[in-house]
Structure 1
Amino acid sequence: MANTGLRSDVQAIIDRPSAQVLVIGGGINGVGTFRDLALQGVDVILIERSDYVSGASAASSHMIHGGVRYLENGEFRLVRESVQERNRLLRLAPHYVKPLPTTIPIFSTFSGILSAPLRLLTHKPGGKTKERGALLIKLGLTGYDSFSRDGGTVPRHEFKGHKKSMQKFPKLRDTVKYTARYYDAAVENPERLALDIVADGVVAGKGKARHTNYVEAIGSSPEGVVLRDTVSGTEFTVKADVVVNTSGPWTDLTNASLGKVTSFMGGTKGSHIVLDNQELFDACAGGEMFFENNDGRIVLIYPLNGRVLVGTTDIDADPSEPAVCTEEEVDYFFELVSHVFPTIAIDRSQIVFRYSGIRPLPKHDDTAPGFVSRDYRIEQTVFAGDKKTPMLSLVGGKWTTWRALAEHLTNETLALLKLTRSVSTENLQIGGGVDFPTTDSGVKAWVAKNSGGLTPARTTQLLKRYGTKATELIAAIGASSDDKPLVSLPEYSTAELDYLIGSEYVVHLTDVVLRRTIVAFVGGLTQPVFDELSEIVASKLGWSAEQSAAERTLAVENLSFFHGLILEAAVPSAAAETVAAAK
């Protein structure tokens, strides 16, 4: 797409094309490492070839969890770290990370006892029956609770028999013998949490931390890493003392583009669907249903943002190919729901969003996908361009452990730079989680103090959406004196969208509909909404009619191929008039 000039964040890197550290990959682990390095005063550059957290990090199950199933794989270190990080994120990011009551429906008492040791020793399914019985689950949850003793913030597990289970979940399959209930956490808006992390890094860096999206690493030279701005096509080179590769499932591909052949990765594909089904939403009783299907895959069904999220699959995948949720996977999800809630009818008309991604798992040869380690490691090689600059490649990593992982990766980077850590992130609140009120009285007090002339209802809405960083948005709205609701999407306003587009690194239309908001995720991206948002983004970014049409086409193709959303790319004649009327 034609562009007459460079974006300011790209220009800032070209103007000073060197840094102590270059981080390649702006998923959750990349942005977390960027933030941590910036806090240590390191001169760091972060680049992302697409939008921030638009790859593997955008395809998660929206969970911050300890991984109770990892106990069976013998990954005790990972479980301990995951539980600690779950508890920590509930404290550090309470605006987006919320407690999630989780229920395991159990249909037998002793099933799995004989096959579990075999799975632990071989990391392969053992025996004919995969469904876990009550005794095995009880042992697992007792061990799981033990990891929460130090600083635990959620209740311990509890068991209920058939009668009480059916009272709580009347739509549950009536052959259930027990239910086990424990707590993990959900991240309601992971993309926005990641944006908070980036912004925290910028503030902490005090001008030394630079970042940009839509810039890819395409090669190497003795002068450094060759980069390309995918918007303008401009190529430039950045020299760094340490190169850090956090490109997730594409780690080997990134290394290859830099002239270094590696074979660290062996990712698997995980897909999800989002359903608008009130009966299913109610049947979950405010929490997650979590169980293992007969094929050994983990299954989750839970209410999220007013809809029901169903997942996930675990299929070997090629990171060089796009990951999409197939019709076969949709059929599989429908079978899963009927396995637990046999009387609830679901069909494809209720799917409002679908998505798929590749987990950044290590190479696993003949190990079954569900048994591949979810732990992470850091591989050190040298940068091919000059044969001496150290390069760190991250293998593995998950949403739950991003802070601890970033700490480990930062510590290794600091050691290479012969620096020491000066700031800990263990108790450092994140973005809009700073001083976020967690009680009804606290919310009322915060709203009364920070409304800036907006109504209490609107201020509360913005607090819920952005945490305490809503104060920045409220100030911007006040300065513009324009908080008129959109015609097609009254829960947002033109001033609010203008702020997001202008201050949150928006480059393409898809950035707004998929990541700066959750409009598409919850099924709210109707044609009128798409048209109105298109006009607002085009106006704010100064697109020509040609650019606007190209962006609409790009967005429609993306939304259809990856998410099953069908929209028209052609600009309706009334669209501009609708936006004008709204203003």
Structure 2
Amino acid sequence: MGSDGTGASFDLLVVGGGINGAGIARDAAGRGLSVLLVEQDDLAGHTSSASTKLIHGGLRYLEYGEFRLVREALIERERLWGMAPHIIWPLRFVLPQTQSPRPAWMVRLGLFLYDHLGGRKALPGTETIRLDRSAYGAGLSDRRGKGFVYSDCWVEDSRLVVLNARDAADRGATIATRTRLLDARRESPGWIATIADAEGSRSVKARALVNAAGPWVEEVIARVTGANATRGVRLVKGSHIVLPRLYEGDHCFMLQNPDRRIVFAIPYEGHFTLVGTTDEPWQGAPAKAEISAGETRYLLDTVNRYFTRQSDAADVAWSYAGIRPLYDDKAGSASAVTRDYVLDLESGEDGGAPLLNIFGGKITTYRKLAEHALEHLAPFFPEASGAWTAGAVLPGGDMADFEDFLAGLIAERPGFDPALLRRLARAYGTRVSDILGDAQTIAAVGEDLGGGLTTAEVAYLRDREWARTAEDILFRRSKLGLHVPPGTAERLAEYLAAG
């Protein structure tokens, strides 16, 4: 067969290259199954690169009684940190009570549960502070009264997807980006599927089909002959803005609004503050989402209500939006819709050719979702090995401590700018040597296309991480698009086009 899966038979065909699809492909490949993953655009091209970029239990979900989801997410939080310490790290979150619609006792009770539901070990617990006496209150326009400080983790979300896909490929999976599922039909003992990319369409066979298409999950169901899913998704748009830094310090803020919704303010890329998210119902078919003027105003009003530094639309350095495919639990408002996931399994009349549809989910629980997906499919693959991903490090994550690793890297390569080495170490972890080789200066790593982005790094992203466009590299594999000089995107596009 060709490297694109031409004329091939697989155990598993996974549709969707977001976090759930990539996680399922990785888990299945590690159990010894042959896997083809198809993604119509880039890996993490939609929802999975448009998150608030937190590995968290979801403190506000406690308000809706989502105790099982919160507990599972809290357990996964420290587990994922240990698996990928280069792209995941802890943060402290400040929750001011100055404008809270919730009484302090209710917030403190929620934080007590948050500290204890998930078996927290390494992350520090909650503390109560006086905002006017703590550095955590810096930047707030009203520092009267108290606040609470708790822990969660940050994740480079699109890199988490790519690293799962990379690990899946390292274990034998075929990853086909810019490839669509056109149709699929049961043909005993499995599936015949038609897939298409820029070179045309072709048929592949698979024993099982996994629909992890996110916002497109119902569209994929419609392309599968005889599919009879009884579940559905509710599409909700979440948008974020990036502003010049609003306050000093490495901590984040959870800001409570009068409508009881919350907005995060998070230090971002050194010079900025990330603000989000919104919750707006999305009507119609899934598509590339953009922030609306109303959402921008809502987020600006929130930060202006809390911070001394005032911002307006002209200050927005970047914005992004994604459509979250939440499981439709018939909740009254978009904010109240469950973030839990539901797995819907159906098989053919002869009991074979399973179709597993994935509804909902959140980035923090992707690994557990994948594990549950393989449990559902286990009866169809008795030859597969058992669960294995808990604690299995992701590519580049095999280090005891990130700062120790970085210190060693800087000591080994004194001819490099330490800031550049930090960026590379954060992105690639121990695999940074695959890019740098034996080089001792940046000049030895190829042409600098702008802002320290070298041709060697671009070649790695193209050859090992499926990057095909300047946007893939500047805004998903990295956030260099916020930093590089004018003309970098054009030079990068020319380099990629030259092959």
TM-score normalised by structure 1 residue count: 0.79
Partner in structure 1 of residue 92 of structure 2: 101
Corresponding residue for 1:577?
Answer: none
Partner of 1:87: 78
- Deviation for aligned residue 1:314: 0.7
Which shifted more, 52-61 or 510-519? 510-519
What CA deviation, in whole Å up to 9, does each residue of 1:297-342 have, x standing for no partner?
Answer: 221111121221011111111361422101111111110001111x
1:324 equivalent to 2:286? Answer no
Change (3 A) 1:210 1:383: farther
Query: Which residue number corresponds to residue 228 of structure 1?
Result: 195
The one-letter code matched in structure 2 to 1:486 is: D
Paired residue for 2:425? 463
d(CA) in 2 for partners of 1:509, 1:383: 43
Asked if 1 retains the 8 angstrom alpha-carbon contact of 2:86 and 2:426, the reply is: yes
| Paired letter, 1:524 | H
The correspondence for 1:417, drawn from 367, 377, 381, is: 381
Q: What are the equivalent positions in structure 2 for 1:433-444 lying under 5 Å apart?
A: 433-435=397-399, 437-440=401-404, 442-444=405-407
Return the match for 1:271 from 229, 239, 251: 239
- Shift of the alpha carbon at 1:173? 3.1
Q: Distance in 1 between matches of 2:169 and 2:53?
A: 25
| Superposed displacement of residue 160, structure 1 | 1.4
SS in 1 for 2:325: coil
CA RMSD of aligned residues (A): 2.6
| Letter in structure 2 aligned against 1:144 | Y
**Cα displacement string for residues 41-95 of structure 1 (whole angstroms, at most 9, x for unaligned residues):** 0111111111111111111001100111111111111111111111111111100
- 1:519 paired with 2:490, answer no
Tell me, what secondary structure is at the counterpart of 1:102? strand
Which structure has greater helix proportion?
1
**Structure 1 residues 99-149: Cα deviation after superposition (integer angstroms, max 9, x where no partner):** 0100111127xx7xxxxxxxxxxxxxxxxxxx212111011001111124x
- 1:95–1:529 CA distance, 2 compared to 1 (3 A): same
Shift of 1:421: 3.5
Q: Distance in 2 between matches of 1:526 and 1:439?
A: 28
Residues 436 and 467 of structure 1 are in contact (CA less than 8 Å); yes or no, is this contact kept in structure 2? no
Secondary structure (helix, strand or coil) at the match of 2:396 reads helix
Task: Say if 2:317 is the partner of 1:352.
Answer: yes
Shift of 1:253: 1.1
When residues 365 and 512 of structure 1 are mapped into structure 2, their CA distance, relative to the original with a 3 A threshold, is same
Matched, 1:137 2:107: yes
Per the alignment, residue 451 of structure 2 pairs with 490
Aligned amino acid, residue 494 of structure 1: T
Does 2:212 align with 1:246? yes
Deviation at 1:402, TM superposition (A): 0.9
How many pairs align? 491
- Matched residues in 2 for 1:257 and 1:176: separation? 57
Higher Cα radius of gyration: 1
Of 207, 222, 234, 1:256 maps to 222
Note closer, same or farther for the CA distance 1:497–1:257 as it changes in structure 2 (3 Å cut). same
2: CA distance, partners of 1:97 / 1:315: 28
* 8 Å contact kept, 2:137–2:143: no
- Aligned residue in 1 for 2:133: 164
TM-score calculated relative to the size of structure 2? 0.91
Residues 1:353 and 1:9: Cα distance change in structure 2 (over 3 Å): farther
Paired residue for 2:166, among 189, 195, 199?
Answer: 199
Return the alpha-carbon distance in structure 2 between the equivalents of residues 308 and 159 of structure 1: 24
Alpha-carbon contact 1:199-1:431 (below 8 Å) kept: yes
| Paired-residue identity, % | 31
- 1:301 is matched with which residue? 265
Contact 2:239/2:277, CA 8 A, preserved across alignment: yes
Offset of 1:226 from its aligned partner? 3.2
Q: By how many angstroms is 1:484 displaced?
A: 4.5
Structure 1: runs of 5+ lacking an equivalent: 1-5, 112-130, 542-583
Any residues of structure 2 matched to 1:503-542 within 5 Å, and which?
Answer: 503-520=464-481, 523-524=482-483, 527-539=486-498, 541=499
Which moved further from structure 2: 59-68 or 344-353?
344-353
Deviation string 1:467-503 (CA, Å, 9 cap, x unpaired) is 111121122869x98424525x232212222222233
**Structure-1 separation of matches of 2:348 and 2:471:** 33
Consecutive unaligned residues of structure 2, counting only runs of 5 or more, are none
Match of 1:152 in 2: 121
Q: Which runs of 4+ in 1 moved over 4 A?
A: 446-449, 458-461
Cα distance per residue 1:7-39 (max 9 Å; x no partner): x632xx1142x1111111110011011001111
